[in-house]
Structure formats: structure tokens, C-alpha cells
Amino acid sequence: MKSLWNDAEAAQFPGDLGQRVYTSRLLGRDKTLVMHGGGNTSVKIDEPNLFGEIETILYVKGSGWDLETIEAPGFAPVRLKPLLRLATLDKLSDPQMANELRCALTNAAAPNPSVEAILHASLPYKYVDHTHADAIIAITNTANGRERIEEIYGDSVVIIPYVMPGFKLARLCAELFPANANENTVGMVLLKHGIFSFGGDARESYERMIELVGRAEAYLQKHNAWTITFPDAPPLEKPIREELAALRRELSDTAGFPVIMATHRDAQTLSYARRPDIATLAGQGPLTPDHVLNTKRLPLLGRDVAAYKAAYIEYFEANKGRSESPLTMLDPAPRVLIDPELGLVTVGRTAKQAAVVEDISRHTIDVILRATQLGGYQALPAGDIFDVEYWDLEQAKLRAGGKTPPFTGEIALVTGSASGIGKACVQAMLARGAAVIGLDINPDIETLFKRADFLGVRCDVTDELALQAALEAGAHRFGGLDMLVLNAGIFPSSTPIKSLSSADWDRVMHLNLDSNLALMRDAYPLLKAAPRGGRVVIIGSKNVPAPGPGAAAYSASKAALNQLARVAALEWGADGIRVNTVHPNAVFDTALWTDDVIASRAKHYGLSVEAYKTNNVLKVEVRSSDVAEMAAEMCGALFSRTTGAQVPIDGGNDRVI
Ligand code: ZN
């Protein structure tokens, strides 16, 4: 552990709250300390209220904020006095506590204070830092974790046995901390949960955290439980995308909604999955109870989803009596699979969630292996994990529901998506919650959108092996394919038939027609496995119903593609796959149409640029985004009873109508 404190950087964050923001971000930068909303920090500041009286306000991390990116408004200002009083109550339910915390805010617009707010309040220090450091967990999650912590820290920390986070923990700490703290105390270790440090200023509290966790790391090193090496993973010998899509289908059916399924096959995950003692290691439970909300209590070993579901229902039935109020069972699908052939598979409603599960799982593997080196990993009993998985506040969130975008958990592939209509289709799909695989020959595609739910693949669509590789990469990253948007194509310069070479004809047919056949054929098994039925949208052309002179190859290729789509609609309907076509015309906001080209074409027709752009029945401009919105809608509920349709999007064309 190394302190990341930097005087120049720190000076950019003036005031007590500014300093709190700065060192919170330093903690957040180190994933071995906190991950994805984990951990919390606070500072106590004396401030005058409206009546001029000085009050102590606890600024504590608000829920929904991440330490790494937190800003001043991410700290909820709560009056300290009522919080300290709450800590003297014998009992307080979580919903009551959440209500009391909100009522003690000095800013009605502030986020909900952390569930550890009362605990922060009761520690008599200006700055308080709390993390779920990997090194601490590796030591406390062993059979004699307490003795080891005593050996490492002596009287410099107070040790708190595990109780459920929230009011019970705050209550226990308010009792045990003052009874056990002395002048040497700089921290507090919560067994099987994490560690607190505190100080008079932000730097002192932060650097104590670094120093305390550093001691735990040194202890692990001394006991040969720090460095873990993994042998290289053997490569896969054959494509597995159809197996992956079938597995995702089963997971989605079990969950009751489509899921994103990411496969992580590498040295760490494969050697873990292939350990002879994997059932013992992975069958213990999560590192800290809050992980259960992302990962569920146990991973699925292998791929027997039905057995996992049965075991989950059994676990729910066995533990539901622990709650005083009736509980609604969460979906019984696993979020983590550990498989000797696939390595680690992570599941989420969104690609981002699946990525969070991956991060947690990788840390979990490291910590479990370190604890194993120390003599054996030991997690909390199932009941304690259940209490957090089903605690009131989480159940309330579940009851409140909240609408998710329509394509959440689904996967779309768009060809020719680095610019123009293709790029707009990617945006329309992302906006509807889908994860998207974007294909383009332009290498810019790889960095077009930097987000967990986008995979850009540089790909020449006329290369069948490259198309198959892209489908394979998409299945590893997201789990399969639900929607296919065939957009890539070329519009060659105007050539009359009398001078059209066979080579030019072939080139256009190859790209506009043959490549789409290859992709449809190879995507079919994946689309067939789509949880809600596959969908294909063809970006056709007005030239299909109304061809133009000089565009023989283009018009013929698009017309043939149109027939291909109609036949696919007939052949694939029984598999629940819908195939529909849009016929755009005169979409000028694409790379093809530079301002100069538009101006010269307008002049050619004796029109102003504006009149040329809106030269249709409705006198409207047709933009890439209009075409993309239509393509995306065709994949949605509105078109759920429609296949084989052709919809013009051209502002009305008198030759088509
Ligand atoms: Zn915690």
C-alpha cells in the first residue's frame, strides 16, 4: 500500500469538505480498497444554522455515489445530534432509520445518507474512512481471523464481531468502541466486513487507512499468502458461440428477463475453475455481505442452471422466516458461473452490471486463494448473507420497481456503424438499453463509444471468416444476439449499363448482397436462441420500388437483398424471428454527402440546398436518426406482430406512392 496523497493535488480541494472529497477519491482509486459504491467516508463540520447557532453537521457519503468520482454534493449533510441520540435506541428498523436519517438532513435535495451514517456519527473523530480492503477480508475470513487481527494490530484497532450492517452494527460499535478504545487506537476492524480509520484531518485519516491495510498485506506476505500466480490458459479449440447463446437463453428464462452474459476465459479464471478443491472454495459465500446484491450468495459451478434454481428456491424457503415482514423472492438465476471450460461467466441485467460482477469475482478469487494459503477461507453463514440480500431497504427498491429501457439485457449487431445511418442505429439501440456490437471496416469503430455496453469490431463484411469472428467475439462479450441491423453497403458512382464492368457489378453485389447472406446465415442460430425472439432489420433503399438510371448494380443488389429478406421472413417465422425492411431515401447527413456534393446536386436540379434536401411529398428532411429510430422501433413491441414488412422513410415519394 502506498499513500497517493499529493500536496499540489490536495491544494485544489479547499476546506474541510474539499479535503474530504479529495481523500475519498484517493481511496476510490484503489480497487483493492473499495469497489463499485462500496466503502464510505465522512467529516464533521461545525456550521451556523439559520438562527446563528453553531451545529455540528456530519457530511457522510450519499448512496448512489462512488468514492472514486464523488463530489461535494455527494456528501449528505446530517445534523450530528439526532444521530447520536438514535444510537442509544435499543431497536430501530431499517425503514425507520432511513426515514430518521432523511429527516435529519439540512438540505432536502441531498442524497440518502449512507446506511453507516449513525456509525460514522458515533466515532469521536473529525474524519472517518471506511473500506472493505481485500487484505483485511483475506485475514478476517479465516477460521481464526480474530486472533490474526489481534496479532497484527495489538491495541491500535478495536475489533467488532460481525453483525448486520445498518442500525445493529452502529448500535454495537457505539457500545464496544468507547469501551475498548485507548490513546493508541487509530482504527476499527469489523470482522468479515472491513476496516475503519480516523483522524483529525483528512490526510491523517487516509494515511492511517493505508498504513493499517499495508500491515495486513505485509502479514499476508510473511505467511506466503500474498503473491498468487496462475498458469497460462490453453486457447479454445473451436467456436462456442452457439453453446454460449443457449446458456444465455436458459439463464434469461430462469431470471424472467433477458440477461447479458460475459465470458472471461483467462489464466486467473481458468486455473481457479479447474482447482480440485473448487467446490469447497466457491461454496462458502461472498467476501462481504454487500456483494450478495450483485453476485448472489453462491456461484454456479458448471452449467446446470435448473439445479441452481432449485437450490436457490430451497435457500429462500429455509431463510425467509428470518424476516418479520413477508418477502418477495428475487429471481433464482445465478450471476456468477465457474466452469472448467469457460472460466468465469458473469451475468447482469445490463453489460455494466455484468462488468461489476466480473470485478467483484476477480477480487473474490484472489482473496479466497490468499485466505486458503492462510489455512482456509471461511465466509459468513448463509443466514447472515440472506439478511442482507433480503433486507427491507432492498425489498422496498424491488417493490418500487422502476421502468427499464425496452431492450435492457438484449444484444444488437449493426454493420457499417462507424458513421451515418449505422452509427445512428447504434445510438438508437443503446438509448433503448441494448448492448451493441458495431462492425465497420473503419478502425475508428473500435473506440467509437467507450462504454461497457458497446463492442466495436473492425471487420470487412465481405470476409466470411471475419464475420464469424465478430459473432464469436460478441457472444463472448455479451452472450449471444437478439437483433441484427444490416446496414453496410456501398453506393457506387453513377454508371450506365452500357459501360458497367462485371468487376464493378461483382464488387457491389458482393458487399450489398453476398455479405448479408453470409451474416444472416451465421447469425441465425444465435437469433433463434434469443430470449424474446430474434429480429432482423434491413436498411433497404427507395431504389427497390423506384430504381434510378445509372444505378443498375446498386438497385439490383438492394432488390435482391429485399427478396432475401422476404424469404428469411418466411423461413424464420416459425423460430419467432421477425425480418423487416426500411427503405430510406435522400438521407444527406451521411459521410457520402458532403456539403459540396449536396450543393452541386441541388444546382444540377435548379434547386436551393434547402429545397433539394426536402424535395419530397411532405417537404421534410430525412435524417440518419429518423431512419435509425424506425429501425429500432421495428425491433420493439410495436412491430411484434409484423414480419416481412417494407416501410418507406423518405418523406413520401411520388414514384413509390
Ligand atoms: Zn461497509
What average pLDDT does range 256-272 have in this prediction? 97
Summarize pLDDT for 5-64 with one digit per residue, the tens: 999 999 999 999 999 999 999 999 999 999 887 899 999 999 999 999 999 999 999 988
Question: Is 554 marked active-site?
Answer: yes
Torsion of CA 373, 376, 380, 381, to 10 degrees: 160
pLDDT higher than 80, residue 315: yes
Q: Chain-wide mean pLDDT for the chain?
A: 95
Q: Give residue 600's pLDDT.
A: 84
How far apart are the CA of 611 and the centre of ligand 1, in A? 63
Residues 512 and 492 sit within 8 Å (Cβ to Cβ): no
Which of 162, 554, 605, 612 is catalytic? The answer is 554
pLDDT of residue 654: 92
Task: In whole angstroms, give the CA distance from residue 71 to residue 73.
Answer: 6
Residue 364 in this model has a pLDDT that exceeds 70? yes
Mean pLDDT across 474-494: 95
Question: How many angstroms is it from 130 CA to the middle of ligand 1?
Answer: 7
User: Distance from the CA of 194 to the center of ligand 1, in angstroms?
Assistant: 6
Largest CA distance in the chain: 98
pLDDT digits (tens, 9 = 90+) for 86-111: 999 999 988 899 999 999 999 999 99
Ligand 1 mean position to 196 CA, how many Å? 9
Interval between CA 165 and ligand 1 midpoint (Å): 7
User: Residue 192 C-alpha to ligand 1 middle, in angstroms?
Assistant: 10
Quick one: average pLDDT of 368-394? Answer: 92
Average pLDDT rounded to a whole number, residues 590-597: 81
Q: Which tens digit of pLDDT belongs to each residue from 111-156?
A: 999 999 999 999 999 999 999 999 999 999 998 999 999 999 999 9
Report CA(293)–ligand 1 centroid distance (Å): 13
Q: How far apart are CA 376 and CA 145, in angstroms?
A: 10
Q: Which residues neighbour ligand 1 (ion) by CB within 5 Å? A: 194
The mean pLDDT of 241-257, rounded to a whole number, is 98
Average confidence (pLDDT) over 218-237: 92
Residue 396 has pLDDT above 80, yes or no: no
Give mean pLDDT, residues 277-293.
94
Ligand 1: centre distance to CA 558 (Å): 59
Measure the CA dihedral 321/326/330/336, to 10°.
-30
Q: Look at residue 236 and give its three-state secondary structure.
A: coil
Ligand 1 center–CA 35 separation, angstroms: 11
Collect all residues with Cβ–Cβ distance below 8 Å to 382 and sequence separation of at least 6. Answer: 285, 297, 315, 318, 319
How remote is the CA of residue 570 from the centroid of ligand 1, in Å? 56
DSSP assignment string, 194-216: EEEEEESSHHHHHHHHHHHHHHH
Tell me: the pLDDT tens digits for 517-571? Answer: 999 999 999 999 999 999 999 999 999 999 989 999 999 999 999 999 999 999 9
Q: In the prediction, which pLDDT does 398 show?
A: 66
